[in-house]
């Protein structure tokens, strides 16, 4: 009887230790969307300052890469600027992964040009015509006689997916567009190319680029909250199942008043 009791106690002890090693060590790996990246980095920094046992690694790579990492078990939280695709959900089912979406902020996708560009705004139809190749020169839009340089995101980007769905309505972007791996590289290319047009999350607007009005609406927090700005979306963090341990604590921090203040400070739209 004593031997059985000892065996049961040993099994019980082993079961309590069967938790993700990252959580057991206070470590968390967050990967994905470059739009969500500034929020993840800034909140992780403050969270680690407040929790000495926490060690959070944050990296970008795009929404698709983050979701793939979650499915393969190489990250604990996948940042995404779009909902999961059907094929990703099916892959989750095959791998025994139960993806749970957590909305952590709202965002608007700003259409940006070089600061010297005199054009102040475009309609959704005009933006679509630029990205599908029907409009190729700024003079067709009241600007200078200057070829339009189309800058876009790569196919693993959630921002690309959202822009394609809302603006392009499923039409193909021109093959000669300059595909970039992050919001920051889009902003950099546009800021250094006079004829360029690109699109980025609100947190990447700076004085090095000019954000255009879309359908006569300025991309900013108030217009995203009100629903007036036409290219808006929620931002997500995905977990495999209900978050536990440090992942749960980190998400709750992001949703807290302090966390949402950090969201706003990064240029995005808080939930409260």
| Cα 234 from chain centroid (whole Å) | 9
With a CB cutoff of 8 Å and minimum separation 6, the contacts of 67 are: 32, 78, 80, 84, 88, 99, 238
Give alpha helix (H) positions in 33-152: 37-50, 63-72, 86-95, 124-131
Can you point out the beta strands (E) in the chain?
Answer: 27-32, 55-61, 77-80, 99-113, 121-122, 149-153, 178-180, 196-201, 210-211, 213-214, 232-240
Report the alpha-carbon distance of residue 236 to residue 220 in Å, rounded.
19
Report the alpha-carbon distance of residue 261 to residue 270 in Å, rounded.
7
Q: What is the pLDDT of residue 25?
A: 67
Instruction: Encode burial over 97-121: b for 16+ CB neighbours within 10 A, e otherwise.
Output: bebeebebbbbbbbbbbbeebebee
Q: What is the pLDDT of residue 94?
A: 96
Q: What is the pLDDT of residue 73?
A: 96
Task: Give domain limits for the chain.
Answer: 19-106+235-265, 107-232
Query: Given phi > 0 = left and psi -120 to 50 = alpha, else beta, which region is 227?
Result: left
How many Cα atoms occupy the beta-carbon half-sphere of 57 within 13 Å? 12
Per-residue pLDDT of the chain (272 residues; tens, 9 = 90+): 334 334 333 333 333 333 443 444 689 999 999 999 999 999 999 999 999 999 999 999 999 999 999 999 999 999 999 999 999 999 999 999 999 999 999 999 999 999 999 999 999 999 999 999 999 999 999 999 999 999 999 988 999 999 999 999 989 999 999 999 999 999 999 999 999 999 999 999 999 999 999 999 999 999 999 999 999 999 999 999 999 999 999 999 999 999 999 999 999 999 97
**Does 3.40.190.10 match the CATH number of domain 19-106+235-265?**
yes
Query: Are 164 and 254 a contacting pair, CB within 8 Å?
Result: no
Residue range 107-232, CATH number: 3.40.190.10
Q: Could you tell me the pTM of the whole model? A: 0.82
Q: What is the pLDDT of residue 26?
A: 83
Q: What is the pLDDT of residue 3?
A: 40
- Judge whether 19-106+235-265 and 107-232 match in fold: yes
Q: Is the dihedral of CA 121, 124, 128, 129 positive or negative?
A: negative
Q: What is the pLDDT of residue 155?
A: 84
């Amino acid at each position: 009887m004593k031997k059985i009791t000892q065996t049961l106690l040993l099994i019980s002890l082993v079961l309590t230790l069967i938790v993700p090693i990252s959580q057991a060590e206070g470590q968390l790996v967050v990967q994905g969307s470059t739009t969500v990246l500034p929020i993840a980095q800034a909140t992780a920094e403050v969270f680690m300052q407040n929790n000495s046992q926490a060690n959070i690694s944050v990296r970008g790579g795009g929404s698709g890469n983050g979701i793939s990492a979650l499915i393969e078990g190489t990250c604990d939280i996948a940042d995404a600027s779009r909902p999961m695709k059907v094929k990703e959900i099916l892959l989750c089912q095959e791998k025994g992964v139960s993806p749970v979406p957590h909305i952590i902020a709202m965002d608007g996708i700003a259409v940006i040009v070089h600061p010297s560009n005199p054009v102040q705004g475009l309609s959704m139809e005009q933006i679509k015509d630029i990205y599908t190749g029907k409009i190729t020169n700024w003079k067709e839009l009241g600007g200078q006689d200057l070829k339009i340089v189309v800058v876009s995101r790569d196919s693993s980007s959630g921002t690309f997916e959202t822009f394609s769905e809302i603006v392009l309505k499923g039409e193909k972007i021109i093959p000669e567009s300059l595909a970039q791996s992050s919001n920051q590289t889009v902003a950099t290319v546009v800021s250094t190319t006079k004829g360029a047009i690109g699109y980025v999350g609100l947190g990447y607007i700076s004085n090095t680029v000019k954000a255009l009005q879309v359908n006569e609406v300025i991309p900013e927090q108030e217009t995203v909250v009100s629903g007036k700005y036409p290219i808006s979306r929620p931002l997500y963090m995905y977990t495999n199942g209900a978050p536990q341990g440090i992942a749960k604590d980190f998400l709750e921090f992001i949703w807290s008043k302090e966390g949402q203040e950090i969201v706003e400070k990064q240029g995005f739209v808080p939930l409260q």
